[in-house]
Amino acid sequence: AYNYAAKNYPRMRSFTKAAQQLHITQQSLSAHIAALEQELGAQLLVRRVPLELTYAGTVFLRYAAKFQRELGDLHREFSDITNNQRGILRIGIAFTRGRTIMPDLITAFQARYPNISIELSEAPNRTLHQNLLNREIDLAIANFPETLQGAQLQDFYREEIVLLLSQSLWERFPFDGNLADLKNCPFVLGNSNDIAGRMGRKVAAEAGFQPIIKAKSDNMETLLALCVRGAGACFCPEILARAVLSPAELAGLRMFRLGEQAKYPIRFGYLKSSYQWNMIDEFMRIARQTL
């Protein structure tokens, strides 16, 4: 019952949704909450739509969340003590970054630890930061600010955004490094909440023009496919372009570097905890070796 309260109930604010998330019946969940209220002698919930916690419910939730964290740490520490490494390692990563690096990393990790399951959560960077702080994931691989309160950050690798043009597009808009030459060139761009999309708009603005956007998408693989076909110039992480495109497709593109401003660190982020599961350290170690 403590797990029910700590994990899903306050977030869902609905018996029905929380029960679905927990794979139990609504009646069973309602009975657990009612039993807790009877045991504690206090009403925990205001039963209306959406459901709300009472003051007593807020206090109970604080303790339940703490119990849940401590129980998880206990299981993990004894897993390390007995060298019986089993469990689920929850990792958050951005969609395109996950497509690029996670297949190799997970394969290498599970070759060493076959009894550990990886549960991937793919989301934008800012969502990953919040998911980590909410304890919905154990480890985030993301572009972090210099500090994130409550989290430990470790460097992983540096990513670089490059500018890609098809050969046919470059012939129409010869480009030798002066971005102003591309003011009439069509672009295919990520959205402004995406690192590449945001950086593309920034460097264009610094060159004195607003890019002519012919296509916009959150899916960088779609943008790369359009770029290969000459639909527009594309700002993209180099590591993704080399992972997704075939040698023939890469050979048909011109790649231009944008300097230090286009480089940024990708870091591991994990919460400060009473006990750090060895599997988090092991995944980071294997990831660095594999990449």
Strand (E) or helix (H) holding 198? helix 195-206
> What would you measure as the largest C-alpha separation in the chain, in angstroms?
77
What is the rounded CA–CA span in Å between residue 181 and residue 209?
Answer: 10
What is the rounded CA–CA span in Å between residue 59 and residue 6?
Answer: 11
Residue 103 confidence (pLDDT): 94
Residue 107, both tokens: 């394969």
DSSP at 233: B
Residue 4 confidence (pLDDT): 45
Pick the closest to residue 233 from 271, 193, 265, 204 (CA basis). Answer: 204
**One-letter amino acid for residue 279 of the chain:** M
What is the rounded CA–CA span in Å between residue 232 and residue 215?
Answer: 8
Q: What is the pLDDT along the chain (291 residues), one digit of tens a residue?
A: 444 444 444 566 777 777 777 778 888 888 888 888 888 898 888 887 788 888 888 888 878 777 776 776 666 666 665 676 778 899 999 988 898 899 999 999 999 999 899 999 998 888 999 999 888 899 999 999 888 888 999 999 999 999 999 999 999 998 888 899 999 999 999 988 888 999 999 999 999 999 999 999 988 999 999 999 999 999 999 999 999 999 999 999 999 999 999 999 999 999 887 667 888 999 999 999 998
What is the rounded CA–CA span in Å between residue 151 and residue 137?
Answer: 12
Report the DSSP pairing between strands 263-271 and 139-142.
Answer: antiparallel
Report the DSSP pairing between strands 151-166 and 139-142.
Answer: unpaired
Beta bridge partners of 257: 162
Residue 241 confidence (pLDDT): 94
Would you call the peptide bond into 50 cis, given omega within 30 degrees of 0 as the criterion? yes
Residue 103, both tokens: 């297949």
What is the rounded CA–CA span in Å between residue 49 and residue 169?
Answer: 56
Report the DSSP pairing between strands 52-53 and 45-46.
Answer: antiparallel
What is the rounded CA–CA span in Å between residue 188 and residue 223?
Answer: 6
Residue 77 confidence (pLDDT): 66
Report the DSSP pairing between strands 87-93 and 139-142.
Answer: parallel
Residue 87, both tokens: 């469990």
What is the rounded CA–CA span in Å between residue 129 and residue 93?
Answer: 10
DSSP at 160: E
